[in-house]
Amino acid sequence: MPKQTTEVDRLVGVRITALRKAKGLSQTALGNAVGVTFQQVQKYEKGQNRVGAGRLREIARLLEVPVSAFFEDQTGGDGSDDNVFGFLSAQGAIELLRAYVQIEDEQLRREVLAIVRSAARLGRSAAAASAEATATATAAE
């Protein structure tokens, strides 16, 4: 009977993805560095294949993190660690973060952050209004 992957395998995969992207590496580059194909890296990242201990150690070395970074709840148990890794996996998140940290002027940083927060509020409001309109239309039918 083949071994089933677990939620821990999925979590390790999500963290590999986030840390790889944060380093600016492609799946191909990471795969070449650890001796596997990009398809295998993809399977690790999706939690479809379990990463062996030796390979995980090599991935950690390349990403310059301790092996524990793939497992530990570094937030004290409130779940925000998973939110951070989820954020880093979101399309455009790494580019946004890289651009933000290049802003040297503190006042400008605060203003950019205010703009992004405002855009997020508008996005949530628009999504809520759309959901409400859909619910109203469905109820009227």
pLDDT score at 46? 94
Residue with tokens 């990242």: 45
Band of the pLDDT at 136, cuts 50, 70, 90? low
Band of the pLDDT at 101, cuts 50, 70, 90? confident
Task: Dump pLDDT digits (tens) for 65-99.
Answer: 999 889 876 444 445 555 666 676 677 777 888 88
Angle between helices 93-101 and 80-89 (to 10 degrees): 100
Domain ranges of the chain: 1-76
Residue with tokens 């590999």: 16
Task: Give pTM, 2 decimals.
Answer: 0.60
Looking at the domain that runs over 1-76, which CATH code has it been given? 1.10.260.40
